[in-house]
Structure 1
């Protein structure tokens, strides 16, 4: 199922939520409502974004360095897991770190707009750079037809997103769009199946017509053969009848000839008798 669904998923990946409440926060988002100098002091050493749940690296190997190595907690955990627990500064073993409460407090107090509103505007801006036509399509199928006017502290974000934000989470939109795409794909397949069945039915009708035509031709041929046979039978009957008639006529002719011969013989005999009588009289 499905090339259309896969294309939809790839398209929606470009619209995925860029802001996580567990990971570091995008500078681009935080800088919209905060001074850049303040933002730079809260940057994660690993991802160069705003450190969330800030941790400070405090290994003995670099304790004399003037720089404070600040990292987001999630970034640090991922890095250590991928690098056999080695420190990201000098790649030494036994990386030591601790929570930086001051940084955590400062980050939690930063003013920000709703992250969903930020993602929505960013997505619309990206679409506008491609083409107006795609932008119109995005507007007609946007994540939400309304906007979110939230502007508050980062520490209040979770409560806002869970309870009062009127924008639909992109994950939910992705899920609904995928379901819709699958439904459309299913309907398209059903239509294709119906079209195939209709085509098969048409071919079957054509084949049935051919068979009916062939049956009619065979029937006509049989009728013609019956007519010929009937004619032959009639001719034979007439021949037999005329032969019988002729034989009867021939028999009568033979009888007539026989009677004629008998009459002729009687005449001859009578003539002989007359002659004998005449001879006797003359004597």
Structure 2
């Protein structure tokens, strides 16, 4: 792979990672609950979206000093709320909401054990398909690649960017016209089985370039 292709692949990986982790402002609690108990996340649920708070913020308004429950919101959820409700508060309506970063909560969340979020999404899609098919066909889909990652929340970004076998990548010959995308683990199978196609695309691109050069001579 050339240096340009390698850099492009890294950019695609980062974009893919962002789409997985940031499609919700906070972490899907069903994903977190794959390896944790309900009691483990009771105090880190975002007040706004009811998911596990991502980059948790603590509401510190004096109006809520007597409340016993944890007043935690995800940073992005809070930003969106305040942009739509200026000078208000997500706990109850009042002016001048006070908040600060929940460092302890953030550290706690970062240490939670999780599976690969892409693997979780894949399993969710499988369950949906099985439900839609009303029980026709049992077991895992043949040929489906699985990611066996289990680690901490704080390790997920690195996993998604560098080692996840479910990472979607474009064909190395994308710039020549091959629009194929597949998981990182099977890209070499695609390259091997489509050598003639890719060769023809390169030749066609080269011929087009030659014709363009002749026009300007």
TM-score range, shorter chain: 0.5 to 0.7
The structure that is strand-richer by fraction is 2
Q: C-alpha displacement at 1:63, in angstroms? A: 2.2
1:68 aligns with 2:67: no
Q: Residues 75-224 of structure 1: matches in 2 within 5 Å?
A: 75-131=77-133, 139=141, 145-169=144-168
1:47 aligns with 2:38: no
Q: Distance in 2 between matches of 1:123 and 1:50?
A: 21
- For 2:32, which of 30, 33, 48 is the aligned residue? 30
The CA deviation string for residues 169-214 of structure 1, in whole angstroms up to 9 with x for no partner, is 4x97xxx9xx67xxxxxxxxxxxxxxxxxxxxxxxxxxxxxxxxxx
Q: Distance in 2 between matches of 1:21 and 1:101?
A: 23
Q: Distance in 2 between matches of 1:98 and 1:135?
A: 51
CA contact (8 A) 1:44 1:51 kept: yes
Give structure 1 stretches of 5+ with no counterpart: 1-16, 181-283
State the Cα RMSD in Å.
3.0
Q: C-alpha displacement at 1:68, in angstroms? A: 2.7
Q: Which runs of 4+ in 1 moved over 4 A?
A: 132-136
Instruction: Label 1:64 to 1:95 Cα distance change in 2 as closer, same or farther (>3 A).
Output: same
When Rg is computed on C-alpha atoms for both structures, the one with the higher figure is 1
- Equivalenced residue count is 155
The structure that is helix-richer by fraction is 1
Q: C-alpha displacement at 1:113, in angstroms? A: 0.2
**TM value normalised by structure 2:** 0.63
Q: Distance in 2 between matches of 1:122 and 1:166?
A: 17
Q: Distance in 2 between matches of 1:114 and 1:78?
A: 27
CA contact (8 A) 1:127 1:135 kept: no
Q: Distance in 1 between matches of 2:70 and 2:144?
A: 45
Q: C-alpha displacement at 1:62, in angstroms? A: 1.9
CA contact (8 A) 1:22 1:74 kept: no
